[in-house]
Structure 1
Amino acid sequence: MALGASHRLQDGIDAVETMTRFALAVLALASGVYTYLGVRSILDGSATAVFFAALIYSSAVSVAIYAFWTYMARFYPHVTGTAGRGAMLGVMALGCAMIIAMSSWLNAAALAGSAALEQHLAETLEDYTTDLDQAHQNALAAQSLLPDIQRTQERFQRLAAQERDTGALTGTTGAGSVVQLLTQMAAQLTELENNIAASRERVSTLFDEGRKHLETMRSLVSAPGVIDPRADQFSAEVVLLSGVITSLEQTSIAPSVKRAADDLSLGFIAPVADGQAADLVTRQDQVMETIRSSVAAQSKVLSQAADEILARKPVAERRFVPLSSAEAVLRYAADFIPSWAGAISIDLLPAVLVFMLSIVHSALRRQEQRLPFAERITAAELLEALDVQRALQSSGVDIDAALAGAEAKEQSNIASFDISGKGPRK
């Protein structure tokens, strides 16, 4: 049975030898094709130069892969020593690393390059969307001060009207110095209110423009077709959107509010009391001092609110970096594991065939060692032994006597070892 199994294994090895070569050739060719596509995506220059450069490189890769795995399939199964087998495994590991470096990542670029570039554009789109929203919020932050400014302005106008009509503050009707001061403060606040309202329209216009650029960028990411023209147009939209974000950052009215708030108190100039009676002059001075205190308090509140707005984190400057398909596959490798697995498997699948052949050859050697010598000897070895026998007989050597003497000597050696207790030599 051992002889039959040994023959079947040998017949199997002989039968798959042609298939093994064919499989290695097909895998090497497939790897070369995808390597060619990957190389073309990263080379620059004329179309002819790129074509020949990519073709030469991919051809070299195909030949190298086929030669390497052919050598491994031919020699590794027949290396039986531990040191030799370890050295061959080291060579195989080195070769696999070199194949991955020169071919597998380019195969992955060919398989998933377009998808990786689309992901790069999509993530860039999300970043710029966040930047536009942040710039818009920073620009509109000063709008939150508008209700307080409007209330203060209305209160000054109301007090001025009451003082002019009923003398509610000084007890004397008429448009005197108090009415003049209240009207002056109301006018300053009205001017600040108008500036904030005007900035809102500018901010709204810029934000709408930025959203249009984002919509165009979003359509470029999801549109079908070749990725390279879309990526170029996407880069152009990024430049325009960056300009809109910068304009939004510069449109903030917060610095102007800060200066206007400081001017309310620092630039406060109270008119001279114009009452004809001394008692009226005193009352006017008291009311104007009260107005001064109210204006100072309002100025402090507005200044603090403006400082909080100015302390907001500005939008960080962002620069869009276009990537090639190979660079995108490397950067987003974790998101394209199936593509990487397929690209590497094309190059390293022959290692499975090599190990299978090694296992079969090892089993064949073990079975042959258990066979008797008469079953292990080949026809060529038998003919060679007969030739040696005929040569000895023709030279006059008594073969039977020589064999008997050698056998007797062997028996004597065995007996002497047994008597000494050392046992026969191995």
Structure 2
Amino acid sequence: MPDSHRPNTNPHGLAHARELQGHLSWLDSFSGAALAVLATASGIYTYLGVSSLLDDTGALSFFAAAAYSIAVSVGIFVFWSYLMRLLPAMRTAAAKLKLMGAMVLGSFAIIAMSSWLNAAALAGAAAVEQHLARTVQDYQEALEQAHDTAVSAQALQRDVARVRQSFEDLSEQEAAGDLSGLAGRGAVFRVLRQKAEELAALEAQIAAQTELIESAFDEGNVILSRMRALIVEPGAVEARSVAFSEDAVRLAGLVTTLRQLSVAPLVDRAAEDLSASVVLPELDASGAAGQDAQASTITSVLQVLALRAESLEEAAEQVLARPAPPEVTYTPISSADAVILYARNFVPSWAGAIAIDLLPAVLVLILMVTQGAIRAGRGDLPAEDTLTLAELRSALHAMREMEALDRADQVQVEQAGAPVLPREAQGENISPLPNPPARSND
């Protein structure tokens, strides 16, 4: 045979290909069992994940969860069995890309129907506890913010007291005759005392809120402590979630109460009314000069009153401008939803849940690389040149059996006196020759 038509007969590559083929034959002996174990394990965790989603615990729910997990196990086993057999056998790049696209699509389907449920079974309770802890943190921030706003409003009591004291001092000066020049408790004195009494009433109302605010804040901290204890308490997380939700309702009510106890709106309205609602008394001086002095003093008092009211209103508006406490509402959540919502906190669990389903993809890629190496080692040798000694012995044994059958058929036909045809001519050859010649009895 010319060298240009001689097939590739690299002995080292052929030996390597035979070695790899032997390894694959040994690995095939337990690959199916290993794949079945992986599929069964995924099905078990899928069953646990589905069970956590079902509210009913009766027989119907059990059979529903079992049916779903069995379907997942069978689907995973069949899907990867197909790919482990077909993808390594593909010889063209186009066929490999198409099957790899199918593998990617099937992997997404497996994650959607199984992996997230596996993650729920692995870390569902911890994810629900994470949700409870995040809710406690939100409630604590809302409680502290509402308390800070209420305490800041209580600080307006000092501003109110300062304004009240200024009007009392002015009234004392008027009584002594140092303000309008008319000693006694006349019209100017009554205007000043009127506003001082209004501010005193507002100051007393603010002071009465202090005890209520501290009481609500202390009760809220007690509830928060109880909620934190429920998070770390042993036992089923579902039962703890029920008690947690009851405390969350009480705490939300306390946050609303603290918001309502803030006196900033009250002080703001009082500051607006301070200068707008002035009851002017009748001027009671004996002479015209005295009445003019009273009128002039009252006008000055009203100007001072307007300035004091403006400063008090600004202080109240600063408190009102503080951000309102966030509206926090506890929403019960299932373990499957919790592992999705807090997926970043449970990356190892997600990795394990996905790996148990997609680990066979690595085996498929290993098989594909190995089969490619085997083909490269064999080169373009014909099939008969790549036979191993065991395969050659099997082929010779089969040929001897065929010859023995031919001789037995010939003897039987000769005894019957009929012409004998070879077995190939009798239709037993897969690729018979055209017009096979008949054999004689001689």
Distance change in 2, residues 1:68/1:279 (3 Å): same
What do the CA deviations read for 1:22-41 (whole angstroms, capped 9, x no partner)? 21121111111111111111
SS in 2 for 1:142: helix
Q: CA deviation at 1:126?
A: 2.0
Amino acid at match of 1:87: K
Moved more, 303-312 or 183-192: 303-312
Q: Report the counterpart of residue 139 of structure 2 in structure 1.
A: 128
Q: CA deviation at 1:269?
A: 1.4
SS in 2 for 1:41: helix
Q: Distance in 1 between matches of 2:383 and 2:318?
A: 98
- Matched residues, number: 391
Amino acid at match of 1:130: E
Distance change in 2, residues 1:62/1:271 (3 Å): same
Distance change in 2, residues 1:385/1:22 (3 Å): closer
Q: CA deviation at 1:365?
A: 2.9
SS in 2 for 1:348: helix
Is 1:263 aligned to residue 273 of structure 2? Answer: yes
Q: Report the counterpart of residue 373 of structure 2 in structure 1.
A: 363
Contact kept? 2:42, 2:73, Cα under 8 Å:
yes
Q: Report the counterpart of residue 205 of structure 2 in structure 1.
A: 195
Match of 2:130 among 96, 109, 119: 119
Q: Distance in 2 between matches of 1:255 and 1:337?
A: 48
SS in 2 for 1:274: coil
**What value does the CA root-mean-square deviation take over the aligned residues?**
2.7
Q: Report the counterpart of residue 54 of structure 2 in structure 1.
A: 43
Contact kept? 2:156, 2:264, Cα under 8 Å:
no
Q: Distance in 1 between matches of 2:157 and 2:384?
A: 109
Match of 1:327 among 323, 337, 352: 337
Distance change in 2, residues 1:163/1:84 (3 Å): closer
Amino acid at match of 2:320: L
Q: Report the counterpart of residue 346 of structure 2 in structure 1.
A: 336
Q: Distance in 2 between matches of 1:374 and 1:300?
A: 107
Distance change in 2, residues 1:74/1:294 (3 Å): same
Q: Report the counterpart of residue 107 of structure 1 in structure 2.
A: 118
Is 1:15 aligned to residue 26 of structure 2? Answer: yes
Q: Distance in 2 between matches of 1:111 and 1:373?
A: 51
What do the CA deviations read for 1:88-107 (whole angstroms, capped 9, x no partner)? 22222222121111111111
What do the CA deviations read for 1:260-297 (whole angstroms, capped 9, x no partner)? 22222121112223233444333333322222221122
Match of 1:179 among 189, 194, 207: 189
1:357-396 equivalence runs, <5 A: 357-369=367-379, 375-377=385-387, 378-379=391-392
Q: CA deviation at 1:384?
A: 7.6
Q: Distance in 2 between matches of 1:304 and 1:369?
A: 92
Q: CA deviation at 1:374?
A: 5.6
TM (normalized to structure 1)?
0.83
Q: Report the counterpart of residue 64 of structure 2 in structure 1.
A: 53
1:270-309 equivalence runs, <5 A: 270-309=280-319
Unaligned runs of 5+ in 2: 1-10, 408-420, 423-442
Q: CA deviation at 1:4?
A: 4.3
Q: Distance in 2 between matches of 1:171 and 1:362?
A: 115
Q: Distance in 2 between matches of 1:376 and 1:292?
A: 115
Q: Distance in 1 between matches of 2:120 and 2:23?
A: 38
Q: CA deviation at 1:347?
A: 0.6
Amino acid at match of 1:78: A
Distance change in 2, residues 1:66/1:169 (3 Å): same
Is 1:219 aligned to residue 229 of structure 2? Answer: yes
Identity, in percent, stands at 43
Contact kept? 2:142, 2:327, Cα under 8 Å:
no
TM (normalized to structure 2)?
0.80
Distance change in 2, residues 1:372/1:50 (3 Å): closer
Amino acid at match of 1:363: A
Q: Distance in 1 between matches of 2:118 and 2:384?
A: 54
Q: CA deviation at 1:343?
A: 0.8
Match of 1:65 among 52, 56, 76: 76
Amino acid at match of 2:41: A
Q: Report the counterpart of residue 172 of structure 2 in structure 1.
A: 161
